[in-house]
Structure 1
């Protein structure tokens, strides 16, 4: 039986560990906090993130070396901006797994690294020295709470090594979770990073009391931004028309379970950044930091992303939401 180590015990890491276990994969979860690891191991639930979800039989530890011992699949389930620091700490044990088990490194993180402007798979390769063919990414409309409740969902696993993508697909496919495969890692990562920014914009609009026409317009024009950037970086447009693009975008922009949409909703209703952070119970709204790095990446490739620019200005330059909306509506009209 394939054994997986899930490094990260937040909502999505916990839910994906359940997905793997329900697919018949042996799972060990690494938690940063000992009390989380203890609860996972003894209570078979995560009272800090998914308290109402009963987990199947999984092992848990706060020792990453123990978690990685014998793992053929290493799932990286930490926030994008903390991925590098964690990898630096884990890289010795990950290197051993790569050498011993030809392990697959599967990233659940969605974002563009601040400063370097690297995608998550690039960060993984740079820190661990893993070959491109060992690194895969998972992206799709995958709200953790719904998946943990075994509501049907689909996703995409992308890897330049198609056979490895299929092996990962088989390790997590079950009666409620349907993974598809793809070799377009760039497209999946750009879709996953940018949708968080557009979800902030949709949340802001909803918080202002704007209706479905406005939200639909933001989603559609946001998709246009994502496709422009993806194509400039070498992505396939069809990827962004699929689960890792449109699918993830719609779920994140419309669901009250989306931290990014919820964060934006508070801002749109007149709340401060601090109030918005408190409203998401300290959980990471990735788009708050990603809007800056996505904006910089777009500028580096001469790609116009006005919605991303507006979100950055609201979150980091003190612009009011009313002024941001006015600027967007005041832009030159042009063909679609």
Structure 2
């Protein structure tokens, strides 16, 4: 029986622990709060993050990292990207043998522009990691924890490792596909949070479904443009970690990024929104990283640029929308330089 350590006792880490426990794996769930660990062990609940959900009794929680890692074969990282480096440094000092690293976090690091898998590879020596795998796709913790049908993607440059993770999680409620395009899966999962902020903002401004559909469609195009520039495969963006994740994050009240954007559209400031939500909103930090990276790579990302101005330069949301709508006229499938092909119009069969 595989021994799995889940690092991050928030909603998503807890929900994925439920899937693993349902599959009869030995699961240790780590979080910083001793009170939360006690609640999970004694009451089998995590009321702060998943109210109304009864957790499997086999999930063992702790706030002691060394204890959590003891005897583990696989480490599942479900912590905010902002905290990723610090937790990896702590892991490195407590590892005794190589393990498989799986992450279910979605974001890009500002300044370095590294994806989470690259941060893991940078912080954990090669002799302490068997493989690095990402688990991503359209999946709300609230639904996964109540065992509603969900489908995600397991991706790695090591396909045997991706298939290993597929086997760990796969059951009748939680279907897992594999995909060798690690870059595309991570980029799609990260950048969709930016577009979800925008979708929530349009709703907060009082705009309807037409605006949301336009934002999602053109948002997917610019996600694919940057992804392909970085080496991703175009078909990935039509899959679960691209279009699938974009749909679920832009259309659901479960989405933190949508809710944050909605409040900003209604006139709240970013600090006010973050304080009221009390949870990490990955899209805000990722907007900054994607804006910087797009500028560096000379990739046109007008929605990301508009959101960057709203979030970091104080531009009014209405002004950002007007600027987007007033851009120079273009052909829908020829957004790039003449002779280049739009990524969503050049997908392999």
Q: Same fold (TM over 0.5)?
A: yes
Distance 1:175 1:288 in 2: 34
1:162 counterpart = 2:159: yes
Given that residues 15 and 148 in structure 1 are in contact (C-alpha distance below 8 angstroms), is that contact kept between their aligned partners in structure 2? Answer: yes
Matched with 1:320 is 316
Distance in 1 (CA, whole Å) between partners of 2:24 and 2:163 is 16
Residue ranges of structure 2 left out of the alignment (5+ in a row): 333-349
2:199 alignment partner in structure 1: 202
1:130 to 2:131 alignment: no
Distance 1:97 1:78 in 2: 22
Normalising by structure 2, we get a TM-score of 0.92
Shift, 1:304, TM fit: 0.7
1:298 aligns with 2:294: yes
Q: Which residue pairs with 1:55 in the alignment?
A: 55
**8 A Cα contact 1:69 1:97, kept in partner:** no
3-state SS, counterpart of residue 93 of structure 2:
helix
Per-residue CA deviation, residues 219-264 of structure 1 (Å, 9 max, x unaligned), is 0000000100110000011111100000000000110000000000
In structure 1, the residue matched to 2:303 is 307
Paired residues for 1:19-34 under 5 Å: 19-34=19-34
Within 5 Å, give how 1:204-243 maps onto structure 2. 204-243=201-240
8 Å CA contact 1:199–1:253 kept in 2: the answer is yes
User: For 2:175, what is the secondary structure of its paired residue?
Assistant: strand
RMSD over aligned CA atoms reads 1.2
Asked if structure 1 preserves the Cα contact closer than 8 Å seen for 2:18 and 2:55, the reply is yes
TM-aligned CA deviation for residue 133 of structure 1: 6.2
The structure 1 segments of at least 4 consecutive aligned residues displaced by more than 3 Å after TM superposition are 130-133
For residues 94 and 219 of structure 2, the distance between their equivalents in structure 1, rounded to whole angstroms, comes to 39
Is 1:12 matched with 2:8? no
Equivalent residue pairs, number: 330
Give the deviation of 1:275 after TM superposition: 2.9
Shift of 1:25: 1.4
Partner of 1:89: 90
1:115 aligned partner? 111
Q: Deviations over 1:80-105 (max 9, x none)?
A: 111111111221224x241xxxx210
Classify the secondary structure of the residue corresponding to 2:177: strand
Q: Is the 8 A contact 2:101 2:130 kept in 1?
A: no
* Structure 1 unaligned blocks of 5 or more: none
